[in-house]
Amino acid sequence: MSAPDLTWEAMVEVCAYETPVTGSERGRINAALKELRGIYPSSTPYAIAFDIRDRAQNYRARFPGIVLTPQALVGNWSLLAHAEEQPKPAPMDVAPRERCESCDGLQMVVFNVRADGSEEMAPCPDCHPDRNAAGFWRFDGSRHNPPEPKAVRAAMIRLLEADHGDL
């Protein structure tokens, strides 16, 4: 009986294959292992198997919910060399207010009321004096920036006057 192939066992384990595998599955596993053995010609099977398990763990942390296949692991091999650090929250440009008079701490205000009664929201002009910081990129690559804080303030005043008459 031949010695077990540690790299094969590691790949089958991390990709959650049930044995016996089909010919197609065997071919994909072998192709991935051939690539790894090619970049680590002098490494022992134990070292490669250890690396497979380590990078599979990094894959799951980086791509949660995405199935791990031999091709996915080998195709992202260099990206998976180190565990991805959790992103740190960006520091806020303005100190958070306990209670903003314009938005009561919500950081958004009603900017417009449409004919159907739905409300259009905009960043609070007091909490977000830089309108570009509240913008975002659309799926098509174009940039959306909210209205200027002056325009938001003017619209808020118009809405208040419409609700309560002249103040």
Say if residue 69 is in the same domain as residue 123. Answer: no
88 found inside a domain: no
> Is there a single domain that holds both residue 64 and residue 129?
no
Q: Which domain holds residue 126?
A: 108-164
Our count of domains for the chain comes to 2
Query: Has residue 87 been placed in a domain?
Result: no
64, 118: one domain: no
> What is the rounded distance in angstroms from the CA atom of residue 19 to the CA atom of residue 116?
60
- Asked if residue 61 belongs to a domain, the reply is yes
Residue 92 maps to a domain: no
Provide the pLDDT for residue 108.
82
Which residues are CB-neighbours of 98 under 8 A, at least 6 positions away? Answer: 105
Cα–Cα distance for residue pair 11/162, rounded to 1 Å: 68
Q: In this structure, is residue 73 part of a structural domain?
A: yes
CB-CB contact of 49 with 7 (8 Å): yes
- Is the previous residue joined to 146 through a cis bond, with omega within 30 degrees of 0? no
> Which residues of the chain carry a pLDDT beneath 70?
1, 85-98, 129-134, 164-167
Residue 101 lies in a domain: no
Which pLDDT score, from 0 to 100, does residue 140 have? 81
The domain boundary residue, chosen from 42, 64, 80? 80
**What is the structure's pLDDT at 132?**
60
- Pair (75, 32) in one structural domain: yes
Residue 87 pLDDT: 60
Residues 121 and 73 occupy one common structural domain: no
84 neighbors 119 (Cβ within 8 angstroms):
no
pLDDT at position 111, please? 80
Which residue from 126, 116, 110 is spatially nearest to 158, judged by alpha carbons? 110
**pLDDT recorded at residue 89:** 59
Could you tell me if 75 and 118 lie in one domain? no
53 within domain boundaries: yes
